[in-house]
Amino acid sequence: MKSRLTSIKRIIENEIGERIDTRNRKRSLTYARSVYCKIGRDMGLSFSAIGKEINRTHCNVMHTVNNIYPFAEKEVYYRGLYEVLRAVIDEDNKDVEDEEKFSTTKRLAEMVDELQKENDSLKYKLKLLKQDEGNFNNLLKGLRPEEIDEVYNKLNIFVKAIKNRVYL
């Protein structure tokens, strides 16, 4: 179990590019440590065992899990990191290294996110086309798909500019 915890620590450190066992209290490190501590608890380890890996006492780990992790969980990046690591520790296949599982799972999660964004964009474009009763279609008639995307991107910028106007 401890070697799995060490590999989880290494994965998190590789992901954020810094060591989590330092005394630094930057938010990014604090949240990364909270994900690590929460994963350790999910693995069934004691607060003391988790704390030994990152130079913290059992009280620090308990505080991190109970008070810091809920804030980290609200941020998409750390929630995603936790979910990917959680999937890694839930895997029954012990033959593959944790880092390989993490990389594969992370890559798949990124692909799903990209496809979801593309799907949302296409749904929105379809909704616009259905709503405008053909006026917009006449405007786009004869344009290539790349040019239509460019029109939508420029319209998005234009709409955002209108929405962010400040009226005095």
Residues of the chain with CATH 1.10.1750.10: 2-112
CA distance 32 to 16: 8
* The predicted structure's pLDDT at residue 136: 65
Report whether pLDDT(47) > 70: yes
* CATH hierarchy code of domain 2-112: 1.10.1750.10
Band the pLDDT of 93: cuts 50, 70, 90. very low
Q: Per residue in 107-132, pLDDT tens? A: 777 777 788 888 888 888 888 777 76
Cβ neighbourhood burial of 160 (10 Å; 0-12, 13-18, 19+):
exposed
Nearest-10 crossing angle of helices 27-42, 76-90: 30
Band the pLDDT of 95: cuts 50, 70, 90. very low
Q: Percent of the chain, pLDDT > 70?
A: 86
Number of H helices, E strands in the chain: 9, 0
CA distance 80 to 104: 14
Average pLDDT over residues 51-71: 94
Q: What DSSP designation does 17 have? A: T
Q: Is the pTM of this model over 0.75?
A: no
C-beta of residue 16 within 8 angstroms of C-beta of residue 36:
no
